[in-house]
């Protein structure tokens, strides 16, 4: 087959995962070609909550400030509120069933700020993707092609060969790439390679309406990132609808655009045309008949809970929805996809630059698949947990309309019984922190079992089975714990010191030798001592690097003053020396740790792909 173009990395799919991969690769000096079959980025708002880990990644590539500026201010996206309706005049209409601080907002702020320098962002994909696209295009002019579709691909031991159609002209051309990132949402690449999605197949369909409307008169609060309406209909059943402010220039109750979300069984959804969907949503929200609401678009999304049985086939890697798909509860889909892309990009860049061995690429699936499995399980628990919460109202799917109306009336009555019912309902709703407060899930995953992490024999930190509490740890394989450091006159945080594509060594106060060994190996390095007792730090011996100071870091690092941690370019601890070892010099330890972290140790049993590449 004749080849029209050759590129180191071909990215298939211009959603959040693919576009971020393009940006990160460009920042690491890797040329890539991204093809996206649609003429534009997403036409639907879709996912919007960006967690602290994603914001850390975006900050590393100079995107966080723009995302924060385009999205909602934190005080407009800090709670989740459950309501009985927007309109209506029954005794139980327009009531707040429950309100909770969510996604690092309100009373959660301090706990989240202790875990990361970056707060959650809130910006729908409709607005996020053009921002990512602009950055990708600026970094790789001509290398981001919308309305170009992957038709098929083949691979041998040296190359992947892809046929691509320019959908504007109809021209089909052939691209040869060393590696392919399948970021296509699972539409083409995985299936073409025989990858199977295992788990819970499609069990419901989400129907999202993107609307323009003024709902400010129906809402008394201004801080909800998500409102959820559970309305009792005329025939005494609960109908549910998410009401999500989407800005884009004013937020909270004065948002001009909204996503309204309903779920149906796949069979029911198929029987509903768009007019029926709109009428159903208006009725659930109990909107007055004359209340203006412009429907911009309606999207339908089959929801499953599945993980690909392989994240890699030869030279092709799957990221994002191509590798894992699950309900939106907990806002984990886009976040996990973008974090996949970040995990993979530095590895591809290092292998292409020759600073890492091909075995490093083996760690992508070893590290990201367990994360995806946990995320999918969590999203399913969260989705099904919604059922128990509304059951706590006493309204039953098998109750008579009269019974159900009586339950909801009693719930809001100003009586001792009403007070008790509301307290019990609060207990049900509190279980939803597994959806809105899961800091441990977002930041607490680890790659301790990765082949490219050097274990130090330490025990794992405690794990909160609910994923709510986060126990930061500098154990190899864990995310570099966040801590503020003083570097000369500057206050910086630990993740700030990690530069794209570069390893970082943080040594204890007595670690000048570590700094010298790391600097000789071309690694960024700092000594970090405890917070100095006085504004004037003690004089340092001549020729030594002045240490950074960080009280929290000294508590979190888990090594002695003459120990060190080696941090990967993606902000994950690769190795930790508890103290300087007299038998193995610092340079030797560092060399060994770097060999493991970059896949340059001989794998004991190479995979077929790696066998082919060497």
Ligand X SMILES: Cc1cc2nc3c(=O)[nH]c(=O)nc-3n(C[C@H](O)[C@H](O)[C@H](O)COP(=O)(O)OP(=O)(O)OC[C@H]3O[C@@H](n4cnc5c(N)ncnc54)[C@H](O)[C@@H]3O)c2cc1C
- Give the interface segment with ligand X, choosing from 13-21, 464-472, 535-543, 580-588 (CB under 6 A): 13-21
- Give the interface segment with ligand X, choosing from 177-185, 438-446, 503-511, 593-601 (CB under 6 A): 177-185
User: Is residue 381 at the binding interface for ligand X, with CB under 6 A as the rule?
Assistant: no
User: Is residue 182 at the binding interface for ligand X, with CB under 6 A as the rule?
Assistant: no
Distance in Å, CB of 468 to ligand X, minimum: 20
- Give the interface segment with ligand X, choosing from 29-37, 306-314, 463-471, 532-540 (CB under 6 A): 29-37
Angle, helices 16-27 vs 52-60, to 10°: value is 40
DSSP 536: S
CA distance 336 to 470: 17
Given a contact cutoff of 8 angstroms between Cβ atoms, the answer to whether 125 and 118 are in contact is: no
3-state SS class at 582: coil
Letters for 123-142 (x = contact with ligand X by CB under 6 A, - = none) are: --x-----------------
- Give the interface segment with ligand X, choosing from 8-16, 391-399, 530-538, 586-594 (CB under 6 A): 8-16
Distance in Å, CB of 113 to ligand X, minimum: 24
* C-beta closer to ligand X: residue 150 or 177: 150
Residues contacting residue 79 through CB under 8 Å, at least 6 positions apart: 99, 100, 101, 102, 105, 106, 221, 223, 224, 225
User: Is residue 14 at the binding interface for ligand X, with CB under 6 A as the rule?
Assistant: yes
Which residues between 195 and 224 bind ligand X (CB under 6 A)? 208
Given a contact cutoff of 8 angstroms between Cβ atoms, the answer to whether 491 and 549 are in contact is: no
Residues in the chain: 614
Which residues between 265 and 324 bind ligand X (CB under 6 A)? 299, 301, 320-321
Distance in Å, CB of 299 to ligand X, minimum: 4
| Chosen residue from 105, 185, 461, 501 binding ligand X by CB under 6 A | 185
* C-beta closer to ligand X: residue 321 or 570: 321
3-state SS class at 389: helix
Closest CA to 248 of 61, 101, 79, 76: 76
Distance in Å, CB of 455 to ligand X, minimum: 31
Residues contacting residue 603 through CB under 8 Å, at least 6 positions apart: 359, 362, 451, 610
| Chosen residue from 27, 36, 205, 609 binding ligand X by CB under 6 A | 36
- Give the interface segment with ligand X, choosing from 38-46, 221-229, 548-556, 563-571 (CB under 6 A): 38-46
Closest CA to 332 of 431, 442, 242: 442
Q: Where are the alpha helices (DSSP H) in 395-462?
A: 401-411, 416-430, 433-436, 439-443
Distance in Å, CB of 158 to ligand X, minimum: 23
Residues contacting residue 26 through CB under 8 Å, at least 6 positions apart: 32, 136, 139, 140
User: Is residue 16 at the binding interface for ligand X, with CB under 6 A as the rule?
Assistant: yes
Within a 13 Å sphere around the CA of 87, how many CA atoms are in the beta-carbon half?
A: 13
Closest CA to 101 of 221, 217, 245: 221
Given a contact cutoff of 8 angstroms between Cβ atoms, the answer to whether 72 and 225 are in contact is: yes
User: Is residue 187 at the binding interface for ligand X, with CB under 6 A as the rule?
Assistant: yes
User: Is residue 184 at the binding interface for ligand X, with CB under 6 A as the rule?
Assistant: yes
* C-beta closer to ligand X: residue 184 or 367: 184
* C-beta closer to ligand X: residue 21 or 565: 21
Given a contact cutoff of 8 angstroms between Cβ atoms, the answer to whether 24 and 34 are in contact is: no
User: Is residue 523 at the binding interface for ligand X, with CB under 6 A as the rule?
Assistant: no
| Chosen residue from 9, 28, 44, 74 binding ligand X by CB under 6 A | 44
User: Is residue 257 at the binding interface for ligand X, with CB under 6 A as the rule?
Assistant: no
DSSP 292: -
Which residues between 335 and 354 bind ligand X (CB under 6 A)? 337
Q: What are phi and psi of 162, to 5 degrees?
A: -120, 140
CA distance 353 to 356: 8
User: Is residue 143 at the binding interface for ligand X, with CB under 6 A as the rule?
Assistant: no
Neighbours of 334 (CB within 10 A): 25
User: Is residue 46 at the binding interface for ligand X, with CB under 6 A as the rule?
Assistant: yes
* C-beta closer to ligand X: residue 105 or 124: 124
Distance in Å, CB of 208 to ligand X, minimum: 5
Strands (E), 148-237: 148-155, 160-166, 172-182, 197-212, 224-232
| Chosen residue from 6, 38, 109, 173 binding ligand X by CB under 6 A | 38
Closest CA to 20 of 159, 112, 140, 116: 140
| Chosen residue from 7, 35, 193, 593 binding ligand X by CB under 6 A | 35
| Chosen residue from 9, 11, 18, 160 binding ligand X by CB under 6 A | 18
* C-beta closer to ligand X: residue 181 or 565: 181
CA distance 129 to 43: 10
Distance in Å, CB of 215 to ligand X, minimum: 18
Q: What are phi and psi of 553, to 5 degrees?
A: -60, -40
Q: How many residues bind ligand X (CB under 6 A)?
A: 32
Within a 13 Å sphere around the CA of 531, how many CA atoms are in the beta-carbon half?
A: 10
Given a contact cutoff of 8 angstroms between Cβ atoms, the answer to whether 94 and 86 are in contact is: yes
Largest CA distance in the chain: 85
* C-beta closer to ligand X: residue 270 or 520: 270
Distance in Å, CB of 438 to ligand X, minimum: 14
- Give the interface segment with ligand X, choosing from 16-24, 110-118, 516-524, 528-536 (CB under 6 A): 16-24
* C-beta closer to ligand X: residue 373 or 516: 373
User: Is residue 37 at the binding interface for ligand X, with CB under 6 A as the rule?
Assistant: yes
* C-beta closer to ligand X: residue 325 or 475: 325
Instruction: Give helix then strand counts, H and E, for the chain.
Output: 18, 25
Return residues touching ligand X (CB under 6 A).
12-18, 35-38, 44, 46-47, 125, 149-150, 183-185, 187-188, 208, 299, 301, 320-321, 328, 331, 333-334, 337
């Amino acid at each position: 087959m004749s080849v029209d173009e050759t590129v180191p990395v071909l990215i298939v799919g211009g959603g959040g995962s693919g576009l971020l991969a393009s940006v990160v690769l460009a920042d690491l000096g890797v040329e890539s070609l991204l093809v996206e079959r649609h003429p534009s980025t997403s036409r639907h708002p879709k996912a919007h909550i960006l967690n602290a880990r994603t914001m850390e990644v975006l900050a590393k590539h100079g995107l966080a400030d723009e995302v924060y500026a385009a999205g909602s201010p934190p005080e407009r996206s800090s709670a989740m509120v459950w309501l009985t309706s927007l309109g209506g005049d029954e005794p139980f209409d327009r009531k707040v069933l429950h309100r909770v601080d969510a996604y690092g907002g309100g009373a959660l702020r301090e706990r989240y700020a202790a875990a990361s320098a970056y707060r959650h962002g809130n910006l729908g994909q409709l607005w996020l993707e053009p921002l990512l696209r602009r950055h990708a295009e600026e970094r790789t002019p001509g290398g981001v092609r919308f309305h170009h579709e992957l038709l098929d691909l083949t691979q041998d031991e040296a190359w992947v060969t892809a046929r691509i159609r320019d959908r504007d002209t109809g021209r089909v051309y052939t691209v040869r790439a060393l590696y392919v990132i399948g970021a296509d949402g699972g539409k083409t690449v995985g299936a073409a390679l025989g990858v199977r999605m295992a788990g819970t197949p499609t069990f419901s369909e989400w129907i999202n309406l993107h609307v323009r409307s003024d709902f400010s008169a129906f809402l008394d609060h201004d801080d909800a990132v998500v409102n959820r309406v559970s309305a009792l209909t005329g025939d005494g059943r609960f109908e549910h609808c998410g009401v999500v402010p989407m800005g884009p220039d004013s937020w909270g109750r004065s948002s001009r655009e909204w996503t309204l979300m309903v779920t149906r069984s796949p069979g029911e959804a198929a029987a509903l045309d768009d007019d029926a969907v709109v009428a159903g949503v208006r009725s659930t929200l109990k909107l007055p008949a004359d209340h203006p609401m412009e429907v911009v678009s309606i999207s339908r999304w089959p929801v499953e809970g599945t993980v690909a049985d392989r994240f890699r086939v030869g030279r092709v890697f799957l990221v994002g929805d191509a590798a894992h798909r699950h309900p939106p509860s907990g806002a984990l889909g886009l976040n996990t996809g973008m974090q996949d892309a970040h995990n993979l990009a530095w590895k591809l860049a290092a292998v292409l630059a020759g600073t890492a061995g091909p075995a490093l690429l083996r760690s992508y699936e070893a590290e990201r698949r367990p994360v995806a499995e946990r995320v999918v399980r969590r999203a399913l628990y969260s989705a099904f947990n919604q059922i128990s919460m509304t059951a706590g109202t006493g309204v039953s799917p098998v109750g008579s309309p009269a019974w159900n109306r009586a339950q909801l009336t009693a719930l809001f009555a100003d009586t001792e019984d009403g007070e008790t019912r509301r307290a019990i309902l609060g207990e049900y709703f509190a279980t939803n922190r597994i959806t809105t407060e899961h800091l441990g899930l977002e930041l607490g995953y680890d790659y301790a079992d990765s082949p490219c992490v050097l274990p130090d024999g330490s025990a794992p930190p405690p794990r909160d089975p609910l994923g709510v509490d986060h126990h930061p740890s500098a154990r190899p394989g864990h995310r570099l714990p966040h801590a503020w450091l003083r570097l000369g006159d500057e206050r910086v945080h630990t993740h700030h010191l990690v530069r794209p594509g570069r390893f970082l060594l943080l040594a204890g106060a007595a670690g000048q030798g570590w700094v010298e060994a790391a600097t000789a190996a071309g690694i960024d390095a700092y000594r970090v001592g405890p917070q100095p007792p006085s504004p004037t730090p003690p004089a340092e011996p001549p020729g030594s690097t002045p240490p950074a100071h960080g009280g929290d870091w000294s508590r979190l690092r888990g090594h002695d003053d003459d120990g060190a941690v080696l941090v990967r370019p993606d902000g994950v601890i690769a190795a930790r020396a508890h103290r300087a070892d007299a038998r193995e010099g610092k340079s030797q330890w560092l060399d060994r740790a770097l060999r493991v972290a970059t896949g340059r140790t001989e794998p004991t049993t190479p995979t077929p792909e790696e066998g082919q590449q060497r």
